[in-house]
């Protein structure tokens, strides 16, 4: 069975109970406490670590394993939802003890796998909210790795930035571990609580992009742009990017095409007990994905090439109409020309000085946003000299196509195609045509 089939709702794995949907915190607490006694669980030390592979598609190998806790109720032998486990620990002030046991389970489990691959990295979550409460916690992980013979450079400490309460304690913790060789990973980036200020303050070696950003990324333009921002930022500051929570092939292809370094998620493999299979799970999908990715990118390149050729032809034909007209007739001629091309959203003409000499003429079939002080088409007389579709047209360049962007006038994803027109008088104009990509952009 493919690992994306079945029921699973969170990155912690497929162990889910029907009561996960309980919305009332008080009711949830009552149900959780009725299901198990957190003190008994901690005393019985029923926590085990399962491991989910982190995969390099380029190298077709597992480069790391993330440790994820699994616990059972000592009274019934039934599995406990990880969400409920941590919820109970917080309410009963047992987070510190639970975190210690989880760390030990992760290190001891990884120790059984470390000899199978000398380059394998353990990704381990550390509850940074406990740091300010116990100075001893600052060295607990160091002592554990020494006890089990795990080199610090083989351990990546995952920090969830939403849980940071004491920034100075965290900085001391990071400095203490970094100087010993531990890697620092900033987890859950792209989630609702993400604070970009954490990146320069923590200076992570790795950032992990959250499932909330990855879900349906192949279909959602805004997520694609945010993903591209994280990738560009990370690569410029020398940080690796792990994309977690991938559940479909389309999500995987979109992330890899956009520059993801490493991938993780149920599409490749579920978390599983420590065994050699952890180093092999998902590699068959990774191998297939590598060949599919090549085909996918070639197909997308071909689609985009044909699409832009068609759009450039539309813009050229609209430009030709302007070239054959007098300036006083530009707006009328643009109205007639736009009606012939449904994907042409609007058009306007800019003087060589950068001043827009026509209003923004819209295609009759194009719906516009309600005009406000911020949102609306550029008027005649507006200064467009700083716009890339004007600024990048030098004296020797007569054609320019912008990157896709969201139009403030319509809210649609579009590109602006600009063409320089020289008049017999010696002056030149720039004819700009906005092309609506919303319907025709190949899925990412």
pLDDT < 50 positions in the chain: 1-22, 136
**Residue 6 counted as domain residue:** no
**Residue 51 counted as domain residue:** yes
**Residue 284 counted as domain residue:** no
**Number of domains into which the chain is organized:** 2
pLDDT of residue 368: 75
Are 369 and 253 contained in the same domain? no
Listed as own residue / partner, the contacts of 168-175 with beta carbons closer than 8 Å and 24 or more positions apart are 169/128, 169/131, 169/132, 169/138, 170/128, 170/131, 170/202, 171/201, 172/138, 173/128, 173/131, 173/138, 174/202
**Residue 293 counted as domain residue:** no
Are 147 and 257 contained in the same domain? yes
How far is residue 8's CA from residue 366's CA, in Å, rounded to a whole number? 42
Whichever domain contains 359, its CATH number is 3.30.450.20
Per-residue pLDDT tens digits for 350-365: 999 999 999 999 998 8
Residue whose C-alpha is closest to residue 212's, from 231, 193, 225: 193
Are 244 and 330 contained in the same domain? no
Per-residue pLDDT tens digits for 148-169: 999 999 999 998 766 666 778 8
Angle of the 167-178 helix axis to the 137-148 helix axis, nearest 10: 30
Are 371 and 304 contained in the same domain? yes
How far is residue 292's CA from residue 15's CA, in Å, rounded to a whole number? 31
Task: Please report the DSSP string for 347-374 in residue order.
Answer: EEEEETTSBB-S--EEPTT---PPP-SS
**Residue 338 counted as domain residue:** yes
From residue 379, how far is each of 107, 133, 352, 353, 367 by CA, in Å? 64, 60, 17, 16, 17
**Residue 282 counted as domain residue:** no
Average pLDDT, the chain: 87
Residue found by looking up tokens 């029907």 in the block: 18
Are 237 and 370 contained in the same domain? no
| HSE-up of residue 154 (Cα within 13 Å, Cβ side) | 18
The encoded tokens of residue 17 equal 């109970």
Are 254 and 389 contained in the same domain? no
How far is residue 110's CA from residue 266's CA, in Å, rounded to a whole number? 20
Neighbours of 390 (CB within 10 A): 21
Are 235 and 361 contained in the same domain? no
Cβ–Cβ < 8 Å for 51, 66: yes
What's phi and psi for 409, nearest 5 deg?
-85, -35
How far is residue 172's CA from residue 238's CA, in Å, rounded to a whole number? 22
pTM score, whole prediction: 0.81
pLDDT of residue 22: 45
Return the CA Rg of the chain: 28
The encoded tokens of residue 302 equal 């071909």
Centroid of chain to Cα 259: 11
Strand partners, 335: none
What is the extent of the structural domain holding 148?
A: 18-271
Reported residue count of the chain is: 444
**Residue 373 counted as domain residue:** yes
**Residue 443 counted as domain residue:** no
Cβ–Cβ < 8 Å for 17, 81: yes
Are 318 and 234 contained in the same domain? no
Task: Please report the DSSP string for 211-223 in residue order.
Answer: HHHHTTTTT-HHH
Are 379 and 267 contained in the same domain? no
Are 367 and 258 contained in the same domain? no
From residue 198, how far is each of 193, 195, 223, 428 by CA, in Å? 11, 6, 20, 49
Whichever domain contains 154, its CATH number is 3.20.20.450
Cβ–Cβ < 8 Å for 69, 102: yes
Pairing mode, strands 206-209 and 183-189: parallel
pLDDT of residue 161: 62
Last-in-domain residue among 271, 292, 321: 271
């Amino acid at each position: 069975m493919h690992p994306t089939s079945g029921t699973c709702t969170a990155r912690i794995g497929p162990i889910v109970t029907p009561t996960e949907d309980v919305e009332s915190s008080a009711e949830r607490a009552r149900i959780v406490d009725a299901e198990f006694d957190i003190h008994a669980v901690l005393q019985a030390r029923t926590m085990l670590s399962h491991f989910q592979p982190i995969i390099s598609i380029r190298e077709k190998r597992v480069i790391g394993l993330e440790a994820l806790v699994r616990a059972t109720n000592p009274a019934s032998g039934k599995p406990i939802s990880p969400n409920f486990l941590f919820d109970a620990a917080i309410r009963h002030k047992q987070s510190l003890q639970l975190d210690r046991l989880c760390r030990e389970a992760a290190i001891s489990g990884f120790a059984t796998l470390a000899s199978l691959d000398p380059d394998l990295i353990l990704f381990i979550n550390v509850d940074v909210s406990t740091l300010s409460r116990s100075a001893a916690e600052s060295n607990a992980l160091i002592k554990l790795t020494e006890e089990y013979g795990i080199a610090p450079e083989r351990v990546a400490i995952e920090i969830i930035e939403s849980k940071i309460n004491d920034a100075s304690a965290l900085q001391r913790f990071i400095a203490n571990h970094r100087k010993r060789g531990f890697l620092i990973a900033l987890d859950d980036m792209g989630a609702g609580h993400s604070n970009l200020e954490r990146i320069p303050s923590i200076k992570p070696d790795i950032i992990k992009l959250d499932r909330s950003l990855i879900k349906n990324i192949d279909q959602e333009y805004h997520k694609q742009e945010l993903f591209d921002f994280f990738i560009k930022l990370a690569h410029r500051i020398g940080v690796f990017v792990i994309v977690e929570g991938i559940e479909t092939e389309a999500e995987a292809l979109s992330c890899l095409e956009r520059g993801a370094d490493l991938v993780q998620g149920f599409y490749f493999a579920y978390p599983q007990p420590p065994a050699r299979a952890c180093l092999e799970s998902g590699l068959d999908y990774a191998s297939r994905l590598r060949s599919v990715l090549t085909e996918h990118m070639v197909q997308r390149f071909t689609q985009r090439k044909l699409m832009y050729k068609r759009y450039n032809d539309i813009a050229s034909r609209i430009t030709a109409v302007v070239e054959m007209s007098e300036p006083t007739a530009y707006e009328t001629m643009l109205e007639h020309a736009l009606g012939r091309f449904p994907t042409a959203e609007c058009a306007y003409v800019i003087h060589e000085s950068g001043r827009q000499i026509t209003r923004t003429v819209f295609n009759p079939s194009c719906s516009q946003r309600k005009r406000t002080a911020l949102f609306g088409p550029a008027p005649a007389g507006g200064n467009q000299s700083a716009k890339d579709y004007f600024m990048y047209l030098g004296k020797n360049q007569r054609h320019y196509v912008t990157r896709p962007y969201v139009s403030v006038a319509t809210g649609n994803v579009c590109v602006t195609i600009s063409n320089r027109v020289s008049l017999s008088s010696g002056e030149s104009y720039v004819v700009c045509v906005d092309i609506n990509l919303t319907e025709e952009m190949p899925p990412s």
